[in-house]
Amino acid sequence: VGAELSDIITRRVIIAVLLMLCVVPLLSYSSPVEDEKEATQFLHKVNIQAGYGENVDCNFLLGSTQEYTDFMLNIANEISAKKNQYLVGLKILPERCGSNQALNFMDDDLIGNVREESIALVQTTPDFINGIEYSVLSVFHLRSIIEEESLSGIYLTLFVIFMLVVLSSQFNGDAQRLVLSPIEDMMEMVNMVADDPLEDFDFHAHSKTGEYETRVIQVAIQKITALLRVGFGVAGAEIISTNMAVDGENSSMFDPMLPGKRIYAIFGF
């Protein structure tokens, strides 16, 4: 029984671990933070190449900035279907091209009404060329990301709870089938013998267990009861019944010297 139960538990644990290795990555959420940093760093390089003063290329800078904002909009759409505003602020230094709204904007109302944890700042390392600072600051509203992370956490928790419930029920079922049920059958067999020690019970039909150690014990109980009937006979039925009973103070001790009963009989030869 121990080896069989150990093999079953090992197989179930291996299947559960493989299933969790496949499902947990699907339920885990990773935010596109690296995409934000790489895109902002690329815009910073474009900002430097656009130049300053008379040599500034506003069309190049504005076109690249528009592509940057469109890219962030696509990220927001991929994160959530609620179309929440993702890029809420952008500041490109130095200010030029007439301080165009596309190059410098900041949604102060939204930023001021959300928690600090819901705002992420991505700022490039400033570069100074001819005493002029070149840098890019982007402000992101992380509400969609936080919502997706929360939902992923809920789904992952529900999956883990489901796995625990299934494994627990499977382990309990195996223990019941291989260990507890055979023991209950043996207890019922002993009680049957204690109630009527002279009855020849069919224990094979009564038992539902496989060929394990518990089955060997059940066969031994059947043989012992048969030997007791042969040894004590009808007159000793009370002794068998009392000693086979599992209830009572002295149920763990064998007492063959129990008070007997006087029986009147006529023997014919």
Q: Classify residue 117 by its DSSP letter.
A: G
Calculate mean pLDDT across residues 174-187. 81
The DSSP element (H or E) to which 164 belongs, if any, is helix 143-175
Per residue in 128-172, pLDDT tens?
988 889 999 999 888 877 888 888 889 999 999 999 999 999 888
pLDDT over threshold 60, residue 14: yes
Q: Among all chains, which residue has been given the structure tokens 């005493």?
A: 131
Question: Which of 88, 93, 85, 122 minimizes the C-alpha distance to 105?
Answer: 88
Q: What is the pLDDT of residue 127?
A: 92
* Higher pLDDT pick, 202 / 89: 89
Q: What is the pLDDT of residue 3?
A: 78
Calculate mean pLDDT across residues 44-69. 86
Q: Among all chains, which residue has been given the structure tokens 């079953």?
A: 8
> Which range among 26-40, 54-68, 87-101, 152-166 shows the weakest confidence by mean pLDDT?
26-40
Intra-chain end-to-end CA distance of the chain, in Å = 52
Confidence of residue 35 (pLDDT cuts 50, 70, 90): confident
Q: What is the pLDDT of residue 259?
A: 65
Sign of CA dihedral 36, 38, 44, 46: negative
Calculate mean pLDDT across residues 60-82. 79
Calculate mean pLDDT across residues 176-181. 81
